[in-house]
Amino acid sequence: MEELAIDVRHLTKKFGNRIVVNNIDIAVPKGKIYGFLGPNGSGKTTTIRMLCGLLTADKGEGTCLGFDVMKETKEIRKRVGYMTQKFSFWDDMTVKENLEFTANIYEMDNVNELVNDALIKLGLENRANQLVGTLSGGWKQRLALAACILHKPDILLLDEPTAGVDPKARREFWDELGRLSDGGMTILVSTHYMDEAERCHELVYIAYGNLMVKGTIDDVINKTELKTILVHGNNLPKLQSLLEANEDITTMSLFGGNLRICGQDEQKLTQALEKEKSAFSLTWQKSNTYLEDAFIYYLKKAKEN
Please report the DSSP string for 87-121 in residue order: --S-TTSBHHHHHHHHHHHTT-SSHHHHHHHHHHH
In this prediction, the residues of the chain whose per-residue pLDDT falls under 70 are: 1, 304-305
Write down the pLDDT at residue 1.
66
**According to DSSP H, which parts of 71-216 are helical?**
73-77, 95-105, 111-121, 137-148, 167-182, 194-197
**Residue closest to 258 by CA, chosen among 231, 278, 239, 238:** 231
**Tell me, what amino acid is at 297?**
Y
The sign one gets for the Cα dihedral 40, 9, 189, 55 is positive
Strand partners, 262: 228, 251
Strand partners, 206: 211
Write down the pLDDT at residue 237.
95
Ramachandran sector of residue 302 (left: φ over 0; alpha: ψ -120 to 50; beta: rest): alpha
Write down the pLDDT at residue 229.
97
Q: What are the structural domains, with CATH classification, of the chain?
A: 4-221 (3.40.50.300), 225-288 (3.30.70.260)
Write down the pLDDT at residue 304.
63
Tens-digit pLDDT profile for residues 257-296: 899 999 999 999 999 999 999 999 999 999 999 999 999 9
pTM: 0.88
- For residues 73 and 47, the answer to whether their CB atoms sit within 8 Å is no
Q: How many helices (H) and strands (E) does the chain have?
A: 11, 14
